[in-house]
Chain A
Amino acid sequence: MNRDDFRAGLRGGFPVMLSASPFGALFGALAVDNGFSVADAVFMSATVYAGASQMVGIELFGNNVQPWLVVLSVFAVNFRHVLYSASIAKHIRHFTLIQKLLAFFLLVDPQYAETEQRGERGLPVTFSWYLGFGLVIYFPWILNTLIGALFGQLIGDPKAIGLDVLLPIYFLGLVLGFRKRDRFLPVVATSAVASVAAMHFVGSPWHVSIGALAGILLAAVLPPEHRLRQGPAPVEKEA
């Protein structure tokens, strides 16, 4: 372990930690509102450690969606991480296996972006730096979940304090984060119409799978857009 690198990592991750903190607390509060205990919420933040998919998970769980579909949705929302781990492979080749496993566990959006930039600037991506950057985000994420969950437990009616609009707006923000992607508008329009129709005709949990499938199938069938993609996929903003 290199202490200077570790400290440099801590410093680099600090602003990320600050901006992620409200989302950690929000997750804790909404998880309790969706039927999680405080311990469940903290456990999820500590093990899954992926803001957007945690929110999707509690939303679907609260709606009694089938477990396999919840897990599939978490997988889908996190799918971009496949691109991240493929892309940073070249920078962390010198890590030991244990270090690599830990590095992949901590691989959230800003961790990916910063590692990629550091590598491209020619700075060494040491395990000490990577760990410092990751841990200064990871532990406060768990702590903020705890604070939010405890606070959420004190709340009587989430509607009276406007808590119920936060999840749909949060998801709306995530959708907007993908708006530069190919076929974004047709996919979103199709999934929107299909999910609203499915909600009406089939019922609550199924609107997710039916709506999502409609958009995904459309993307596969549409002719490719005449735009060549180069380099790694852009990092989408996420909590």
Chain B
Amino acid sequence: MDAQHLNLIYLIVAAALATFATRFGGYVLITQLKRIPPRLEAALNAVPAAVLTTLVAPAFVYGGFDVAAAMLVAFAIGLRFATLRMLLVGWVAVMVIRHVIL
């Protein structure tokens, strides 16, 4: 196994431990901690949306016309329907743009 692949294995193990920590941590915290400061709670609440947005917005701006258009269509679908349908419609949109229109 080369060094880079070994690093990937370490990374996956670390990710697994981090995930398990979140799944175990709440149980530990609830028995120790009585109250979380409101500003900390607000910050923690914002973490997932803030992180995930950084994976969406640059793809939309720098991904090219076809990707941006597919994301817009998927966004409209996502306001009403579940992720699976978003993926399907977005995928159809990008395929139509790439193979039919362009």
Contact = CB atoms under 8 A, between A and B. Distances in A.
Interface stretch (A1-9, A123-131, A137-145, A165-173): A165-173
A196 interface: yes
A173 B25 contact: no
B58 to A, nearest CB: 4
Interface string B32-52: 000000111011111111111
Nearest to B37: A220
A83 B23 CA distance: 8
A175 B39 contact: no
Contacts of A47: 12-13, 15-16
A239 B44 CA distance: 21
A48 B12 contact: yes
Contacts of B11: 57, 61, 67, 70-71
Interface in A68-117: 70-87, 89, 100-101, 104-105, 107
A194 B40 CA distance: 21
A67 B14 contact: yes
Interface of A: 19, 22-23, 26, 36-37, 40, 43-44, 47-50, 53-54, 56-57, 59, 61, 67, 70-87, 89, 100-101, 104-105, 107, 159-162, 164-178, 181-184, 187-188, 190-196, 199, 207-208, 210-220, 222, 224, 236-237, 239
